[in-house]
Structure 1
């Protein structure tokens, strides 16, 4: 009787079970997609995940239009102005002499519309045009600068946002400064005009809304 040696497998059971978990070479290996998860959560600590970037604040985006006193009065036809169509285009015409207007009654309405129709757009070209109009209004009429002090809360927030927003041209030349279209320079000029013509309470109110502003009168 001949005794044969015991049959020993080539691989043990542990190695065989681990080989079953490996992908078959005959089929392509599928990779799992990276999941987008919110930041500061437990999911962000898991494998095969990517943290979602924070949303943009949109501070320079135009504000949504809101119903204001100017719009309501304009739709009801309460303003003593109308738009005339001439051969050269459209122009604004007053129904009564400007000298007889009650500025204490109409000025808040017009500046409410200024904040809605011009400043809320946050477009530099529109802001520059509105700032030039404010400068002409304050310097061209007596006591208008003092009358505007209570309405700084409607005017100055947008100016505070764009006050230091100068374009970095590097070695180039910013031609908007020579054409008077640089919004940051116009804002600084407008604030100085508001302080000069706004009376003794102008600076403290400007400083409250725009902390980085420095007085052009006290200094």
Structure 2
């Protein structure tokens, strides 16, 4: 009965790697695309304390929207717009709904109130992109699109901060998930 040769696993560039029975093991995965857990957001903390000026409005046929407890035109954008952008990291109900709908409605009527708040939005946008969660990244991209279309001068105001946001985009620029016939 012939003896079986057992393969020896060795790291690259070591003396063991030069042996005939050695199999060189590749490097570990760097984890560039690996999802990273999001820290608890301020939006969630405000929600649990009951300090958010919104509630869930259940619409017929199972739909959901948000209902403002206060007049939306009187909100302090320096406080609430960054708070809702911070909620972009959320993936659970109702905080995800509050973040998405809150951003949409505040940007829709914000006008000139939005431009001075741009520097405060960069860190929440970057934190959301750094989660590398597909759902969070798509939601964040939609929020950025809405932000850029919301008021005049927003694009120019974001130029100094693009380096901080585009680093994560650079990682994912060549990642292509083939959806087949689904275009979404």
Cα 1:42–1:68, aligned 2, differ >3 Å: closer, same or farther?
A: farther
Cα 1:55–1:158, aligned 2, differ >3 Å: closer, same or farther?
A: farther
Task: Tell me what 1:210 maps to.
Answer: 166
Cα 1:197–1:60, aligned 2, differ >3 Å: closer, same or farther?
A: farther
Task: Tell me what 1:24 maps to.
Answer: none
Task: Tell me what 2:135 maps to.
Answer: none
SS of structure 1 residue aligned to 2:12: coil
Aligned-pair CA distance for 1:159: 5.9
The question of 1:103 aligning with 2:77 is answered yes
Q: Output aligned runs, 1:147-186, within 5 Å.
A: 147-156=117-126
Selected match of 2:7 from 24, 34, 37: 34
Between stretches 192-201 and 57-66, larger displacement belongs to 192-201
Cα 1:117–1:42, aligned 2, differ >3 Å: closer, same or farther?
A: farther
Please report the RMSD computed on the Cα atoms of aligned residues, expressed in angstroms.
Answer: 3.9
Selected match of 2:55 from 43, 65, 82: 82
Cα distance in 1 for partners of 2:108, 2:59 equals 29
Cα distance in 2 for partners of 1:93, 1:197 equals 29
Aligned-pair CA distance for 1:140: 4.6
Cα distance in 1 for partners of 2:61, 2:147 equals 36
Note if contact 2:42-2:86 (Cα within 8 Å) is conserved in structure 1. Answer: yes
Cα 1:75–1:161, aligned 2, differ >3 Å: closer, same or farther?
A: closer
Aligned-pair CA distance for 1:72: 1.5
TM-score w.r.t. the length of structure 1 is 0.53
Task: Tell me what 1:144 maps to.
Answer: 114
Note if contact 1:135-1:190 (Cα within 8 Å) is conserved in structure 2. Answer: no
Cα distance in 2 for partners of 1:50, 1:84 equals 61
Cα 1:208–1:75, aligned 2, differ >3 Å: closer, same or farther?
A: closer
Q: Output aligned runs, 1:3-82, within 5 Å.
A: 28-82=1-55
Cα distance in 1 for partners of 2:147, 2:69 equals 33
Which structure: larger Rg? 1
Aligned-pair CA distance for 1:47: 3.0
Note if contact 1:145-1:199 (Cα within 8 Å) is conserved in structure 2. Answer: no
**Residues 183-213 of structure 1: CA deviation (Å, up to 9, x unaligned):** 7xx68x8399279632754212214543799
**Residues 94-127 of structure 1: CA deviation (Å, up to 9, x unaligned):** 111211222211222211111x126xxxxxxx9x
